[in-house]
Amino acid sequence: MTSHLFDYAAKASQEYRTTLEERPVAPSEATLAALAVFDEAMPEKGEDALGTLEKLHTYGSPATVATTGGRFFGFVQGGSIPVSIASDWIASTWDQNAAVGVLSPISAKLEEVAGQWTLDLLGLPAEAGFGFVSGATMGGFSALAVARTHLYCKLGYDLRKKGLRGAPPLRIIASEETHPTNIKALTYLGVGEDEIIRAPCDKEGRIIPSALPQMDERTILIAQAGNINSGASDPFTEICEKAHAAGAWVHVDGAFGAWAAATRKRKEQVEGMGLADSWSVDFHKWLNVPYASAMYACKSKEAIAATFSKAAPYLVRGELRDPSNHTPELSRRGGAAVNAWVALRHLGREGVADMIDGCCDHAQSFADGLTKLGMTVLNDVCLNQVTAIYGDEENTKELVRRIQACGTTWLGPTFWQGRHALRISVSSWATTAEDAEKSLAAIAGCIEAMQADTLAKAG
C-alpha cells in the first residue's frame, strides 16, 4: 500500500546523492525561478501522494544547496555520511517521541550509549550528565541554564521557585570572540546584552588568561573550542584553573572545535577542555550526521535534574532514561541520538580521527593554494578554518560574489580582525583532495576573470 511511496523516496534520494557532483553547488537562477510552482492554492480535495512526492523531488531537490557534496565550504556545515542518512530513514519510519523512556526505549538507550561514547571520545568526564538537543545553540542554552541553577543552588537561592526578578545578579563573562548564538541564548535566560562582560582575546581569537575579568562564585565564563574564523581554541587549562580558584563555572562552546579532541594530530589544541564544567557540541556539523543533532553535557547531574526534570503525574517514571528530564523539550524526535550512535559505531575512534584530521589537512592545502594565487591568509591554520583576503575590501567581496556564482564551489564572507574577508570551512566527510584542487582551480578562474575585467575597463 505504502511501499511505492517508500520506493520512490529511496529512488529519489539515491538520485539526489549520486548526481551531487554534477550539479552546481548553489541552485541556478532557473531552478530558483521554478520554485514558483509551489505558489498554488491549498487543494480542497487532497492530491495524489506519489504525485506530491514527485513534485517535491522534481522542483525541490534542485533548489537545495549541495551542502552534502564535497565542494561546499560556507559557514561551518558538515555533510552526512551515507549510513547516517539510512539510519535517519529508519528513525523517521519509527517516528519515535524521545520524551520519556517508556514511550521509546530505543531512543532512551541510544542516548545513553551515544552520550557516553561522546564524553569518552572528547575527553570529557565519564560521570557528566548530558542531553540531546537540536544544535549547539540549544546546547549552549541548556548548559547555561544548568550552570545558573548550580550557582544559585550554592548561593542558597531557589531560582525555580522564586524566579529571576528577586535573584542576586550573576556575573556573565563571554569571550570577545564568542559565537553570537551564545549571546542569544543568554538573552533567552534573562541576561541583557549590556550585562555580559567580554574577555579579551589574542589575534587568533583565544581568551588571554592574564586579561580575564574578575571572577567569583557568582560567575559563569563562556569559553570556546574552535573559533569560527581561525579554528583556534581557548587555553582551557589556565582558564579553568583561574575560574575554579574563584568558584566560577566554565562553559565550553565546542560546536565544531571540540572534535579536535578526537584527532591524532590536533588533540593538544583542546588540552584541558575536560576541566570545564559544561560543554556543547554539534553532531550535525563535524560528525557529519543529518540535522538536527547535538549534545550538551554538564559535570553536575544534580543541577541538570534541578533545571529540567518536571515529573508531571502522567509521565510514567521507569527504569529507562527519561530524555526530557535533561532538555528543555518534552516531545522530541528520536533521530539525534540514533544518527550519532550509528555514525560513531560505523566510524569508530579511528574513522572519526581520519575524518576530522582529513578535513584539517584539506584546509591546509587550501591555505597553501590561496597563498599561491596571491591571496593573504589571515589566520594561523590550525584546524579546518581558513580566513583570507584578496587585495582590498572591494576585491575580496567581488571575489566571494564570483565564487558563489561559479557553481563549482561555494564559500562565504566573514569579518575578522577588523577586515572583510572570505572564509573556507572544511567540515564534510565528502571533501576529497580532488575536490580541493577543483575548488582552487575554480577560485583561480574567478581571479583571472576579475583581472581580465579590470584590464578591459582600464583599456
Ligand X SMILES: *Cc1c(COP(=O)(O)O)cnc(C)c1O
Residues of this chain that bind ligand X (CB under 6 A): 76, 135-137, 179, 181, 224, 226, 228, 253, 255-256, 282, 294
3-class SS of residue 282: strand
Nearer residue to ligand X within complex by CB, 227 or 263: 227
Choice between 207 and 228, CB closer to ligand X: 228
Residue-wise DSSP of 301-316:
HHHHHHHH----TTS-
CA distance readout (Å), 318 to 18, 221, 323: 45, 36, 12
Nearer to ligand X, 129 or 257 (CB): 257
Question: Could you tell me how far CA 193 lies from the centroid of its own chain?
Answer: 23
Give the start-end residues of each E strand in 348-452.
Answer: 376-377, 385-389, 412-416, 419-425
Classify burial at 354, counting beta carbons within 10 Å of its beta carbon; exposed 0-12, middle 13-18, buried 19 or more: middle
d(CA 239, CA 37): 55
**Cβ atoms within 10 A of the Cβ of 411, count?**
24
From CA 202, how far away is CA 411, in angstroms rounded?
Answer: 25
- In angstroms, give the least distance from the CB of 265 to ligand X: 21
Least distance from ligand X to the Cβ atom of residue 380, Å: 18
* Residue least distant from ligand X (Cβ): 135
Q: How far is CA 156 from CA 150, 161, 440, in A?
A: 10, 12, 58
Of 342, 362, 227, 228, the closest CA to residue 287 belongs to 342
CB of 264 to ligand X, least distance (A): 23
Q: Are 236 and 268 in contact (CB under 8 A)?
A: no
Cell of 33: 525561478
Least Cβ distance, residue 180 to ligand X (angstroms): 8
Q: Tell me the backbone φ, ψ of residue 133, rounded to 5 degrees.
A: -130, 180
Q: Please say which residue, 180 or 192, places its beta carbon nearer to ligand X.
A: 180
Q: Shortest gap between Cβ of 100 and ligand X (angstroms)?
A: 25
Rounded to an integer, what distance in angstroms lies between the CA atom of residue 408 and that of residue 418?
A: 29
16 or 291: whose CB is closer to ligand X? 291
Sort residue 296 into left (φ over 0), alpha (ψ -120 to 50) or beta. Answer: beta
Q: Residue 383 Cβ, how far from ligand X at the closest point, in Å?
A: 11
**Amino acid identity of 419?**
R
CB nearer to ligand X: pick between 263 and 385: 385
Indicate the residue among 100 and 136 with the shorter CB distance to ligand X.
136
Q: Which lies closer to ligand X via its Cβ, residue 285 or residue 321?
A: 285
Residue 316 C-beta: closest distance to ligand X, Å: 31
* Beta sheet of 412-416, edge-to-edge order: 376-377, 385-389, 419-425, 412-416
Minimum distance from residue 314 beta carbon to ligand X (Å): 31
Residue with smaller CB distance to ligand X, 186 or 228: 228
Shortest distance (Å) from residue 138 CB to ligand X: 6
